[in-house]
Amino acid sequence: MSARNTLRAMPTLLKVGFAESVAYRAEMLIWVLSTTMPLVNMVLWMAVARSAPVGRFGQADFVGYFLATFAVRQLTSSWAAWLINWEVRQGTLSMRLLRPISPLWAYAAENIAGFPMRLLVAVPVTVLAVVLVGSRAVPQHAWQWAFFVLAVLGGWAISFLANVTIGALSFFLGSSQKVMEVWLVLYFVCSGYMYPVELLPSGLRTVINWLPFRYQIGLPVELMTSAHEWREALALLGAQWAWVAVLFVLSVGVWKQGVKRFAAFGG
C-alpha cells in the first residue's frame, strides 16, 4: 500500500484501536496499577532526603520527579513486543499480512489510539504534582512545553520501535520474550525510572547517555521538571531522535527479514 493510502487508512485504524482500548479498559486499569513503582520510589527517596538534599533533590523535588515519571510512563509505554510474539507463535499474524497495509502501521495505530485513555491517568497525576510541588512541577515556558511534547513523542517512538525490533526476533528465535525481559531490566536501571540519572556517577552517566533507555522516560521527565537549559535540552532531544532514526531502520530491517521466515511458524 502506498503512503497516501496508508494515511487514508489511519483514521479507521485509530477508531478501531480506540474502541478496543475502551472495551479493554479494565485491563488498562490493571496495567496502570502495575506501574506504580515510581510512587514507591518517591516515598523511599523522600525518606532519604529527609535530613538533607540528595544532589539538587529535596523532598519536594523527589515528589515532582516521581509523579512526573508515573505520568510519562503512561504516555511512552508500548506492548507491541508481546503482541508480535503471541501472533507469530499462534500464526494469527497471517491475518494481518493479508490486509493491504503493513502490520507495523496497525501496531502503531493500536498504541497511539490508547493515548486518550492514558491521558485520563497522566493528567490527574500531573495536576496532583502541581498541587503538591507548585508550578515548577510542569514546564515554565512555551519552548519547554514544546520540547517536552517532542520528548514524549520521541520516548514513545523509541519504546515502540524497540518493541517491534525485539518482537520481530521471534521470527528467528521462536520467542523473544526473554530478550524483552533483558531489555526491561536495562530500562529500569538506565532510564531514570528508579532514580534520577543525574544522581549516578559521572562515568556511568556518560555511558547511559549513549544508550537509548534514558531517552525513553528520563529525558521527558527532566524536561517536564525544567532540569535543563534550552541548549542542553536541544542537544538531548537531538540524541533522542537520532535513536528514533536508528531504531526505525533496525526495526523495519529485522521485520522484513523475519516475515520471510514466517511460513515456518504459520498456524
Residue 24: pLDDT band (50, 70, 90) is confident
Structure confidence at residue 99 (pLDDT): 82
Task: Tell me the mean pLDDT in the region 33-39.
Answer: 81
Distance (Å, whole) CA 75 – CA 87: 24
Task: Tell me the mean pLDDT in the region 194-215.
Answer: 93
Residues 6 or more apart in contact with residue 55 via CB below 8 angstroms: 196, 198, 199
Average the pLDDT over each of 2-6, 76-80, 85-89, 245-249 and give the range with the smallest value: 2-6
Yes or no: say if 137 and 227 are a contact pair by the CB < 8 Å rule. Answer: no
Length of the chain: 267
Greater confidence (110 vs 29) lies with 110
Beta bridge partners of 57: 54
Average the pLDDT over each of 5-14, 97-106, 114-123 and give the range with the smallest value: 5-14
Task: Tell me the mean pLDDT in the region 185-208.
Answer: 92
Structure confidence at residue 165 (pLDDT): 96
Residues 6 or more apart in contact with residue 160 via CB below 8 angstroms: 78, 80, 107, 108, 111
What is the share, in percent, of the chain residues with pLDDT greater than 90? 62
Lookup: cell for 1? 500500500
Structure confidence at residue 242 (pLDDT): 97
Q: What confidence tens digit (pLDDT) does each residue in 42-75 have? A: 999 999 998 889 988 999 999 999 999 999 999 9
The 3-state secondary structure of the chain reads: CCHHHHHHHHHHHHHHHHHHHHHCHHHHHHHHHCCCHHHHHHHHHHHHCCCCCECCECHHHHHHHHHHHHHHHHHHCCCHHHHHHHHHHHCCHHHHHCCCCCHHHHHHHHHHHCHHHHHHHHHHHHHHHHHHHCHHHCCCCHHHHHHHHHHHHHHHHHHHHHHHHHHHCHHHHCCCHHHHHHHHHHHHHHCCCCCCHHHCCHHHHHHHHCCCHHHHHHHHHHHHCCCCCHHHHHHHHHHHHHHHHHHHHHHHHHHHHHHCCHHHCCC
Backbone φ and ψ for 99, nearest 5 degrees, come out as -80, 150
Q: Is the pLDDT of residue 4 over 90?
A: no
